[in-house]
A = this chain, B = another copy of it.
């Protein structure tokens, strides 16, 4: 009785090859701020393919534990860093017959930003998960297409840095505008005008002064934080071809 058959059964009998499913995984480009450089979290693969290569932290969906692919991404990130990231967004999905030497394979990639000081000291896995300066990557051979994926994540981050203040997630709870500006300069690879940058921050309405000030050499700077109740990661597009 056809209508009692579920679609999976139906497809199995209808066309075996149409039912054969590709492998699906989630990969994360987790970025943080190193000393004067962006760093990306990599894990050493214990199994082949690409055994002993470094690759992005990720893995398969756990149909029992995970409610969504976002849950999978967060779970994997938490496994390696001890915490949830300060910002996460879906980058893109790559699926083709060649990226995995074994078989057809699909990965949905997330980009996450995390303030390094929030990460709990790495557990026994310390040699299995580590931060690498993005400039080191050109000298490394990563698993699968992970080098290309990281490049695409960095490009997206550069886009975000030009028209949003999302990169503030790389800093902690509070930060000065100079610090935030330096992060943007680091990402964009160029100097920004302090006046222009401050205007943007103020006009965004996404931040507020904490009231605290830095101390040290030079004029003290005001600390800012995300305005409570504001989703700082909603930003408006303004025009233009």
Residues of A within 8 A of B (CB): 3, 6-8, 10-11, 17-24, 47-49, 51, 59-64, 66-69, 90, 92-98, 102-104, 106, 108, 159, 162-165, 200-201, 203-204, 206, 235-241
Contact = CB atoms under 8 A, between A and B. Distances in A.
Contact of A95 (B7, B23, B47, B108): B108
Given A67-B96, A102-B6, A163 B241 contact: yes
Contact of A60 (B21, B59, B61, B241): B21
Nearest to A2: B47
22 contacts: A7-B47, A7-B48, A7-B102, A8-B23, A18-B62, A19-B60, A21-B23, A21-B24, A22-B24, A63-B97, A63-B103, A63-B104, A66-B97, A68-B95, A90-B92, A90-B93, A95-B108, A106-B108, A159-B237, A163-B241, A165-B241, A235-B241
A10 B47 contact: yes
Contacts of A22: 24, 61, 63
A240 B163 contact: yes
Q: Which 7 A-B pairs have the closest CB atoms?
A: A68-B96, A69-B95, A204-B241, A93-B93, A238-B240, A200-B241, A93-B108
A18 B64 CA distance: 9
Nearest to A65: B17
Q: Which of A7, A48, A97 has the most CB of B within 10 A?
A: A7
Contact of A200 (B8, B92, B96, B240): B240
Contacts of A6: 48, 102
Contacts of A8: 23, 102-103
A137 B196 CA distance: 45
Contacts of A241: 163-165, 200-201, 203-204, 206, 235-236
A53 to B, nearest CB: 13
Contacts of A163: 237-241
Contacts of A104: 61, 63
B106 A17 contact: no
Contacts of A60: 11, 18-19, 21
A241 B202 CA distance: 10
